[in-house]
Amino acid sequence: MTVINATTGEVLRELTTDLSKDYQPTATPKDPPQKRNSSNLQPQVRAISMSCDITPSG
């Protein structure tokens, strides 16, 4: 297998697969990744007070 940069065409890596090996996992992971619950995703908002008067002079 050859990994090539799509923009420049530069060869990044040359990889060889050993066909005598089974690369598939043998069991389920002990701690599968936690799925994000979209209902828990809320924007983080923080109010910051102004440190000086920004009224235009004029």
Per-residue model confidence as pLDDT tens digits over 17-54: 888 988 787 777 677 666 666 666 666 666 666 556 65
The answer to whether residue 55 scores a pLDDT higher than 70 is no
CA–CA gap between residue 1 and residue 8 (Å, rounded): 18
Query: Tokens 């697969």 appear where?
Result: 17
**H or E, element range at 1:** none
What pLDDT does 11 receive? 92
Q: Contact 15/1 with Cβ under 8 angstroms?
A: yes
Name residue 50's amino acid: M
Q: Contact 12/4 with Cβ under 8 angstroms?
A: yes
pTM of the model as a whole: 0.34
What pLDDT does 22 receive? 84
